[in-house]
Every structure is written in C-alpha cells, then in structure tokens.
Structure 1
Amino acid sequence: MEDTATLEQAAAATQGGGMSIGEFISFVWQTWVEGGWLMVPLAGLALLIYFEAMSLILRLGKAKVKKTPRSIWSEWLDDPSKGSGHIGEVIRFVVGDGIGSSNALLRVEAVKSKLLPDVNSRIVVLSILVTIAPLMGLLGTVIGMLTTFRGLATASGQAVDLVAEGIRVALITTQTGLMIAIPGYIFISMVIRSRNTYLAFLAELETTVVQRIHKLEDAK
C-alpha cells in the first residue's frame, strides 16, 4: 500500500543517512493528515499549553531570584535605592516607610497576594490542559478503531492488512497526545520550581524584616 511504502522509504532513508528536510516535512505532513480531524484541536491544545507555560516561566524568571542571593538583597534593605530589577522594586515597596514600619510585613503579604494566586490558578489550568492532551489522543484512537472495525465488517479479504493499517493510523493521535503531554509536564515542573523559589525568597524577606524590626525595638 502507498502509506506502507512511504513509511518504508522513510525508514530506509533514516538508516541510509537520514532524511532530507523536504522528505521529513513530507513525512510529518502525511502523518498529520492520516491522524484525521482530531489533529487540529490537538495542535491548538499544544499551542495553548506551550504559550501558557512559557509565559509563566518568563514571568517568574524576570524576578531573577536565583541571581540575587540573600547576601545581596539584604543590603538593599538598609539602602533600598541600591536595589535593581524586580527584587529591588519589591524591597523598595516593602521598606518604603522604613524597615521598622509596621506596614513592612503587611506589604510582604501584599506582594504574595498580588502574584501568587494568579500564578497558582494558571498552574491549575495548565495541569488540566496537559492532562487533556493524552485523553484527546486516546479519543482519536477510539474513533479510528471504530472506523477500522466498521470497514472490516464490510471488507472481504486482506483482513489482517486492513486491521494493521487501521490500528497504525488510529494510534497516531495517541502518539501525538503523549508527545504534547510529556513536554507539558516538564514545563509544569519548571513553573512550580520557579514559583517555589519565589516563595522561598518572600519567606526569607519576611523573616529578615521581622528580625530587623525586633532589633530596632530592642535598641529602643
């Protein structure tokens, strides 16, 4: 069959030294078409997952928490004007009325409430989207298998070839769903790690502010 011949040519090209760019694009396009109409929502889902994940990673990465250790930003508490970047802005906001101000701790909580609820809700949405990807691929496989068995019921001869080809085509959507979900889970873990790093920074900042407030009170 034509589809089988195409796969054999692709395998031979791979073993013989690799596909050319044109052959690879043709192979991917043919596989895409064989996957059926469900490949279109899968593509949209993939774009949505990766866009959402990258926007979160970039948003949290702008804070540059790892590149600004405590030994540096703790000095900015004494002179907030030295602070730079997102961390500097947070410190200037927190100690705007002075390190001994009772509003300092409230402002740390304000920073948490401004950023983290939105990030957490988007992580939940991202997790749901990533979970949907393999399920949508499985739906495509079920639809393909039903079509295969329907054709098998009315076909005569070459039943084995018909079943094998139908299963191959039906599994394309499952494979695509998994290929979307696996990087998605990796992105989720990166987002969660960045969020936890930011939370650790805020916890350290809160602890440092409390310690300095107590020192000022004791000095009085």
Structure 2
Amino acid sequence: MIESILQTWVKGGWVMLPLAAVSLLMFATGLRLIQRMRRWPDRWGTEADWQKWVADPDQAAPAARVLLKSAGAEEENETVVRRRFAAVVQLYGPAEERRLALLSTLVAAGPLVGLLGTVTGMLVTFRALAEGGGGRITEAMAAGISQALFPPEVGLCIALPGMMMVYWARRRRHEFQAFLAWLESLVVQQARARRKKGARVNDLPVSVKA
C-alpha cells in the first residue's frame, strides 16, 4: 500500500515536493497553535471561580494567581490596572497572531502550489502533442495530464483541514479576547471598591480608626 501511495505521489511531478513541505509545515504550525491556545487562562476555571479569585487572588489556583497579580488585581488605581492588563495582552497576543498569520498563508499556499503543478503538467502535455504521435508520445501525454490533475487535488485536500484549523484558532482568539475584556472589567470594579473602602476608612475620626 505504501509503495502504491509513493508511486501515485511521484506521478504528480516535482511540484509534489514543495507541496509536501507546505503540508508538513502547515500541520505542524496548526497543531502547535491549537495546543498553545487550549492552554490559555480562560480554561483554568469557571466564571464563578474567576469572580471569586478576583475578589481574593490568594485563593486562586497558582497559575491564575500569578496572572491576577500581574494584572494588578490587588491595586486600587484603575490606570495601573489597565496598564498592567495591556502588558498581559502582549504576553498572549502577538506570538499567536504571528502563528495564525503563518498558518493562513500556508493554507492559501497549498492550492496555489497545486495550480503550479497544473501549469507544468499542461506544458508536458503540449510538448508531447508538438512532437507528434507514437506510443511514447501517448505515455508522455498521460504523464503530463497526471501532473496537471493530481497536484491541485492534493493541494485542495491539504487546504480543507487547514481552513478548519484557521477557523478554530480565530474563534478561540475571539473567545480569549472577550474573556480578557470581562476579566479586566472585574478587576477594575474590584479596584474601585477597594479605593472607596479605603476612602471611607480615611474619613473616619481618629478615635474610630483606633
């Protein structure tokens, strides 16, 4: 079976080599991206857990505790909280955006490389037609037609799972962005509550504070 697959693959011509390279790189990039996105913080707990953790970061799971303290969950200044959240976004956003852009490019490159095989296969076919009739010419035409049809089919078959990975990664990115916006609003609300509480304590008479 393996020999049959290899023979069929070779009939596609030299274009099958870059097509195989694009395919391997696309799947490696896509699977790595999915693996990293599945570990993003919004999968560390439920919505109720995060609300409880924002109120008391020391009670949070270890990884969530580090994230919340980095995001300023214990701060009272809203400006500081928003600045820290911007830094947290930079930890997760740019690297995955680059991988997603690379994955999208590889998905688009698969069918294009297949079309290159169509062009080279048609050239082989036209060359055989120009040389005239005969058994060898017929074989050359058959080889040219095979090179013209097989690579674009493989390119499309490669692109379909790649499109599914791109769709999943984009949806996952939107979910995570919504989670960060929601978490930032919770931390900001908590910072306001701490500031108001501190203001009320400072307004009390000295004897009451004591």
TM-score, normalising length: structure 2: 0.83
State the identity %.
Answer: 35
Q: Deviations over 1:70-116 (max 9, x none)?
A: 211121123323323644431132236x1424422211110112221
**How many residues are treated as equivalent by the alignment?**
196
Q: 3-state SS of the aligned residue for 1:186?
A: helix
The question of whether the paired residues in 2 share the 8 Å contact of 1:73 and 1:88 is answered with no
2:4 is the alignment partner of 1:43? no
Q: Deviations over 1:33-70 (max 9, x none)?
A: 11111111111111111111111111111125245222
Q: 1:175 — aligned with what?
A: 153
Q: Deviations over 1:106-127 (max 9, x none)?
A: 1111011222122222212221
TM-score, normalising length: structure 1: 0.79
Counterparts of 1:182 and 1:122 in 2: how far apart (Å)?
Answer: 18
For structure 1, the 5+ residue unaligned runs are 1-22
TM-aligned CA deviation for residue 157 of structure 1: 5.1
2:146 is the alignment partner of 1:146? no
For structure 2, the 5+ residue unaligned runs are 200-210
Counterparts of 2:167 and 2:63 in 1: how far apart (Å)?
Answer: 23
- Relative distance call for 1:87 and 1:194 in structure 2 (3 A) is farther
Paired letter, 1:203: A
Counterparts of 2:159 and 2:63 in 1: how far apart (Å)?
Answer: 32
Counterparts of 1:161 and 1:129 in 2: how far apart (Å)?
Answer: 34
Counterparts of 1:67 and 1:217 in 2: how far apart (Å)?
Answer: 28
Counterparts of 2:176 and 2:108 in 1: how far apart (Å)?
Answer: 26
Q: 1:211 — aligned with what?
A: 189
TM-aligned CA deviation for residue 175 of structure 1: 0.9
Counterparts of 1:45 and 1:81 in 2: how far apart (Å)?
Answer: 47
Moved more, 68-77 or 135-144: 68-77
Match of 1:100 among 76, 80, 84: 76
Which of the pair has the greater relative contact order for Cα pairs under 8 Å at 6+ separation? 2
The CA RMSD measured in Å over matched residues stands at 2.3
Moved more, 166-175 or 60-69: 60-69
- Relative distance call for 1:180 and 1:68 in structure 2 (3 A) is same
